A and B are shown apart, each in its own frame.
Chain A
Amino acid sequence: MQDPPLTVPPVPPPDQHDPPGAHQRKGAVEGSATWSLSDRIGLAICWALGLLFCAIAVAIVVYLLVQGIKFLRPEMLWTPAAAGFDETETGGFSDALFGTMIVAAMGIAIALPTGIAIAVWLVEYGRPTALARITESTIEAIAGIPSIVLALFGTVIFSSTALGFLSRSSEGVVFGRSFFAAAAMLSLVALPLIVASVREGLNSIPRHVREASYAVGKTKAATTRRILLPTCRPQVATGAMLGLGRIIGDTAIIVVLLGATQNFAPVEGAAFPFNYLRGAGTTLTNFVYEASPTGNLNQPQKAYAAAFVLLLMVLALNAAVDVVHRRARKVGTWSH
């Protein structure tokens, strides 16, 4: 839909690749000079709040950057945490850093295929209709469940004896805290974001593309795999990265389901990757939480250093989302 010349961008930026249909209501043709005072005060509030949000973001980044440069030593990244009397003796947070990576990889490995499958079912199949509506509400409900409730639910599932092989167990009592448990619950946190993003991508592919594929004799499944999913790869990537951001940033599930230790606690007698994955561990969020003045370790300098590393990860994910968006825009979208 083309916008009528309600407003005209004053200077059209040369490198704009907006998809057709993007609304362009920017640039005031009508200044605020003729407005009444109350309207102008309102506009001033808009400016003030907009600048305030920018200021908060800049303050967070700059403050953590300063503290990070002040307190982050490279050796912290490969020294595990240790017991000690002051912050010079307590090592670094390598276990937390690896823990974050493990949890993120495992969580997304569960959430991404599940999320894509649910989105494909909702858009391409979606029958019976009642089940489709129930599924939509389920995904919405999962997005609204507080992560602390998910964590408590996780303790119930993973301390059941049937799932004892996923965590440490001794004499029939299942510990229930492991990378498996944390990653499984974290994948639920990421799931709604992935489903929403992939659905949006699938919905934006016009009907005639599918029909063309059916007309040359491809089955629905083959069309989905060969045509639809490759086409909405940017949305899949966006969903995955949004999900990753949520997984990396979640603390409640980690505190409850991964254990209050600051080191890996591998299970004896299990094969290599599984002894670590079945054991308790830690992540950067857990480390920051415990190292903050309200936590058990109380090492604010280390907390700042770890928070800085965490923030860098989040910033990198944000930048990656931006890049994917820009690329997808350059390639262009289907014209409706």
Chain B
Amino acid sequence: MSQIDLQGVTRSYSGQVVLANLDLTVEAGEFVAIAGPSGTGKSTLLNLLGGLDRPDGGRVVVAGVDLATAPEAALDAHRRDRVGFIFQSFHINPRRTALENVLLPLVFAPLEEDEDRVGRARLREVGLEALADRPAATLSGGQRQRVAVARALIRKPPILLADEPVGDLDAATGAEIVALLEGINREQGVTIVSVTHDVALLRAASRRLGLEQGRLVPLPDEATR
């Protein structure tokens, strides 16, 4: 059974069809990159996978749970335990320290382990342990995105959903984040589904898809050149 299995998914906003009868299967440990013009529904697809939104029709089965029909509490649990989010604009609170940002999800779902130690370990994995106690306001864009990656991984979810994770970064910093995601996928076996316009990220993915007219299609190799 696939870790992610979408069948016949449709989603419209104000009468405009964004996703039309979309199918997608993702196996555990895959790194899937999805490209497409702005407004084609890439973020909508990630929101459906993350349980932040529900489809108008079809099935969105993630780790055996159909998020289209699951009760609200099951969606909360899905976001807490099975997926981690990374956003283009980081969504890091500048008033909190790097460590406090990383530990934020534990407010809603505590760990049984020493949380401070786990938080610092996650920051070490993204190369920021030395900056753990620095206010996020003093961090660069690339560092903030690393903090966001550490936050997404704090509860060791099996799936990472990345929405344009290098969209707000320069090419060099973006490449560092791509390498970081690649390493997380390869070394920790975390499934990654990322929407992106970034060629480097597309190249790093094990499977590349394009979103056209509400459906996913394989992306030709030319798109990564």
Q: Do A and B bind each other?
A: no
